[in-house]
Structure 1
Amino acid sequence: MSSVAPDDVAAQRRAVRDTYRSLRLGLVALVVLLGAAVTLEAVAAGCWQTSVSAYYWTGAHDALVGGLCAIGAVLLAYRDTSELENTALDVAGALALVVALTPTSQEPTCGGAGVPVAALDVVPGVRTGIGALIVAGVLAAVVRLAVRPRVSRTRLENVVRVAAGVLLAGLGSLFLLDAERFATTAHDLAAVGLFLATAAVVLLRGFAARAVSARWGYAYSALGVTLVLALATVVALRATVPTWRHAVLVTEAALIALFAAFWVLRTIELWGADAPPPRGPARARRGTA
């Protein structure tokens, strides 16, 4: 029976650690890419669109779609030690891809009355893009189930996993049954779901981190609470100041910045740490982390 040399084991651990570090830093870099593209386009136009999504119809289109697709793929690939967090990452990743591949209403260059997405000929592109996403998603899910070791989950983890599957299956069913309605509604639904799933990732990490380090637990919890408060504050301002046309843009910018801050904190926390051992059926379970 052959044995693995200590140097080889160390090299493998280093490779895993560096890969996960690169994924986390990659998410931050992709957020910078999105922010830079939107800012450069706004400077060129001399004004701001009313949402990040509205830049789909501008010169920032390629960076926006490519960046969101890359973020979605990384979130789907990234695994952590909490099954609840992994489920939230899966939902966020899948919805980021839906947001990228479904447009919102088209605005004039400097805002004002826009063209509703229902009046635009977007269905053929959405049908192709989302159809390809469903094919790739189903194939990836089958392969993951086939090759992944069985993991013991709590009842809560199973319920949340099933609920996430039902949510994504519901979006897929809407596309298959009524592609036109999907094309006009999926972007907004997926965007809201993406931000909620992102908030869940941050808050769940705060709960899980407390068992290891109170400092990191409080840091993640504070970030998650700030994320929720930012959303609530802008919603309240939008209700009380209806003439504020850029409420959605400010909300999205704040949430995206907090998303990047989370991955910066995660990178700092785990900079020199090896990958955690996988959870298996034989491992004792306490709680959900």
Structure 2
Amino acid sequence: MRIRTTSTQRTYRYVRLSIVAATLVLAVSVGLEVARAGVLPSISAAFYTPAGDLFVGSLCAIALALLVLSGRSIEQGLLDVAAVFALVVALVPTPISDASCEVGAVCVPPAAVPGVINNGVSVASLSVVVLISAAVLARTQGSAGWGTVVTLLGIALIVAGFVTWALSDFPTFLRGAHNVAAIGFFSVIGVVAAVSAWRPQRSLRRFRVLYAVVAAGILGVLLALVAVLVVGAATATVGGVPVIFLGESVVVVLFAVFWLVQTVELWDAPDPALRA
């Protein structure tokens, strides 16, 4: 029996599945590098390895997918914000200990800095065009509302914040932007999962339970990782595995679980535009 669907419905299915696929590609690529050279200090450190191209590519693909998931709910506004954080995570590498840095220092190797500048200027410039285009489209399509205004304003402030940080103190931007964006990205995803868990009028109980587990897991692990960074124990290990790598692995798995659940829950949704 052939199942009747609309083009829009199929598109939304494939976009959600593409997020899962991009996450899987990232996991496989990092896994192969771990098998080849040993456990990395963090998943983000894959940027400097043969897995670097797929690390950047998968995050950019996820950012694009999050942006094109159109809707009219608080979740959608948050996912748009998460897309901005994902781009920063992809394009500003994590600082590492490297022979090209000062003795005992942790930095972004000088060879990677020109790429950060090129990519940063390109994405910041594009962000202006995207924000203006999004505002015009929302107005012409009749979809503009307070949610749209707040989302666009929030994204503009985030982009302006990162740009101002880079222009005013580039060395500290290189040392901190990646971690700030990564924490911001997964925090937003955790909040989206929590919002999804708290909506009895829209989701069956079994889905809400899964969303609650994902939200608690992501936010709990993030708090633990932030505490590790604050106390200066970033090099600590658990059973020989760096605690940062372990924590990041958990939140990446939970991120994939969230999108698998979303895909299953909304598979037959006739209208992907969820309203708050």
**Deviations, residues 49-82 of structure 1 (Å, cap 9, x unaligned):** 1100111111111111111111111112212341
Alignment equivalent of 1:27, drawn from 19, 32, 45: 19
Give the corresponding residue for 2:127.
137
For structure 1, the 5+ residue unaligned runs are 1-9, 280-288
Give the corresponding residue for 1:258.
254
For structure 2, the 5+ residue unaligned runs are none
Structure 2 distance, partners of 1:54, 1:107, is: 10
Structure 1 distance, partners of 2:21, 2:78, is: 21
Structure 2 distance, partners of 1:222, 1:230, is: 12
Give the corresponding residue for 2:159.
168
Structure 1 distance, partners of 2:201, 2:153, is: 26
Paired residues of 2:81 and 2:151 also in contact (CA < 8 A): no
The count of aligned residue pairs is 261
Are residues 1:272 and 2:261 paired? no
Paired residues of 2:81 and 2:154 also in contact (CA < 8 A): no
Structure 1 distance, partners of 2:273, 2:61, is: 27
Structure 1 distance, partners of 2:43, 2:65, is: 20
Structure 2 distance, partners of 1:146, 1:76, is: 16
Per the normalisation by structure 2, the TM-score is: 0.83
Structure 2 distance, partners of 1:147, 1:100, is: 27
Structure 1 distance, partners of 2:223, 2:120, is: 31
Deviation at 1:259, TM superposition (A): 0.7
Are residues 1:57 and 2:48 paired? yes
Paired residues of 2:236 and 2:243 also in contact (CA < 8 A): no
Deviation at 1:107, TM superposition (A): 4.9
Paired residues of 1:105 and 1:114 also in contact (CA < 8 A): no
Structure 2 distance, partners of 1:118, 1:33, is: 25
Structure 1 distance, partners of 2:53, 2:23, is: 14
Alignment of 1:99-110 (within 5 A): 99-107=89-97
Q: Percent identity?
A: 30
Deviation at 1:104, TM superposition (A): 1.5
Cα gap change, 1:179 to 1:24, in 2 (>3 Å): same
Alignment equivalent of 1:87, drawn from 50, 65, 77: 77
Cα gap change, 1:19 to 1:174, in 2 (>3 Å): same
Alignment equivalent of 2:194, drawn from 194, 203, 209: 203
Paired residues of 1:37 and 1:60 also in contact (CA < 8 A): yes
Structure 2 distance, partners of 1:162, 1:276, is: 24
**Deviations, residues 112-142 of structure 1 (Å, cap 9, x unaligned):** x986225534332111001000111111111
Structure 1 distance, partners of 2:112, 2:84, is: 20
Structure 2 distance, partners of 1:104, 1:277, is: 36
Give the corresponding residue for 1:229.
220
Cα gap change, 1:162 to 1:142, in 2 (>3 Å): closer
Alignment equivalent of 1:67, drawn from 58, 69, 86: 58
Structure 2 distance, partners of 1:33, 1:101, is: 18
Deviation at 1:92, TM superposition (A): 0.9
Give the corresponding residue for 1:3.
none
Structure 2 distance, partners of 1:44, 1:183, is: 28
Alignment equivalent of 1:126, drawn from 102, 110, 116: 116
Are residues 1:44 and 2:40 paired? no
Give the corresponding residue for 2:88.
98
What secondary structure does 2:177 align onto?
helix
Give the corresponding residue for 2:209.
218
Which residue identity lines up with residue 160 of structure 2 in the other structure?
Answer: A
Root-mean-square deviation over aligned CA pairs: 2.9
Per the normalisation by structure 1, the TM-score is: 0.79
Structure 2 distance, partners of 1:73, 1:15, is: 19
Paired residues of 1:21 and 1:267 also in contact (CA < 8 A): yes
